[in-house]
């Protein structure tokens, strides 16, 4: 399962916590707090998607494979919000990376930080991971600030905080969709983090240095590469 597998696009604590499948079945060692899920057609579909997209089965897919229908429902709604908001891949990257940073989620920070670097450049990914808004253009800045506000203290948001999104060209329907997108990404990160899903070793190894070095929160990555066959 891709970190945003219905929305495929360009490649993808303290201290440096930067942080498969013969029929696409994961290996024998669990990399979360749950046991490995029972085999099913739906679980195999998640694993096969990972193998096609990444060349390995993501550790978080083994978590969601316990109830694949929950994954499908969540990502179906995410896709709908992306469509309503008219978000580009770069804009999704800014939102997800900012949300993951605020949540302290190393897994999505790694995966989407790398994607954002590929789509917009290392400098943009580095700025978003560091919450250095001065380095971003007006639209990226508005999205990053909004994601952080929603993820950290939504009750502190005021009407004035919505205005940068409007100035960036988003109407109220789009702002609703953007906000719901962030909330759904928070739900995804919360499940992965709470159940101990370890970031895949391949994500760490493949991420640009600015992404690896910019993440000092969340769970440590798996010690060994995720299954590739």
Domain ranges of the chain: 41-214
Confidence of residue 9 (pLDDT cuts 50, 70, 90): very low
Q: What is the mean pLDDT of the chain?
A: 90
pLDDT, position 30: 80
pLDDT (average), residues 24-44: 80
Q: Is 47 left (phi over 0), alpha (psi -120 to 50) or beta?
A: alpha
Q: Could you count the other beta carbons within 10 Å of the beta carbon of residue 76?
A: 10
- Higher pLDDT pick, 88 / 27: 88
pLDDT (average), residues 193-221: 98
Q: Could you count the other beta carbons within 10 Å of the beta carbon of residue 80?
A: 15
Tokens of 153: 């203290």
pLDDT, position 218: 98
Confidence of residue 11 (pLDDT cuts 50, 70, 90): very low
With 90 as the cut, is the pLDDT of residue 33 above it?
A: yes
Q: Which CATH number fits domain 41-214: 3.40.50.2000, 2.10.109.10, 1.20.1290.10, 2.70.98.90?
A: 1.20.1290.10
pLDDT (average), residues 86-92: 99
pLDDT (average), residues 103-118: 98
């Amino acid at each position: 399962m891709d970190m945003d597998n219905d929305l495929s696009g360009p490649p993808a604590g303290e201290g440096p916590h930067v942080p498969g499948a013969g029929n696409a079945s994961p290996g024998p060692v669990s990399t979360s707090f749950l046991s490995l899920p029972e085999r099913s057609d739906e679980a195999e579909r998640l694993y096969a998607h990972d193998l096609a997209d990444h060349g390995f089965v993501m550790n978080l897919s083994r978590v969601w494979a316990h109830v694949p229908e929950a994954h499908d429902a969540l990502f179906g709604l995410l896709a709908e919000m992306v469509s309503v908001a008219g978000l580009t891949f770069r804009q999704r990257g800014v939102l997800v990376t900012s949300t993951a940073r605020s949540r302290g989620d190393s897994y999505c920070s790694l995966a989407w930080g790398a994607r954002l670097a590929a789509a917009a450049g290392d400098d943009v990914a580095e700025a978003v991971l560091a919450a250095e808004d001065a380095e971003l253009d007006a639209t990226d800045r508005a999205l990053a600030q909004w994601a952080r506000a929603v993820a950290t203290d939504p009750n502190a948001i005021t009407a004035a905080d919505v205005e940068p999104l409007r100035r960036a060209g988003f109407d109220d329907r789009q702002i609703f969709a953007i906000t719901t997108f962030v909330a759904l990404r928070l739900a995804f990160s919360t499940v992965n983090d709470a159940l101990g899903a370890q970031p895949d070793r391949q994500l760490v190894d493949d991420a640009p240095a600015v992404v690896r070095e910019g993440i000092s929160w969340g769970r440590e990555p798996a010690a060994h590469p995720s299954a590739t066959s």
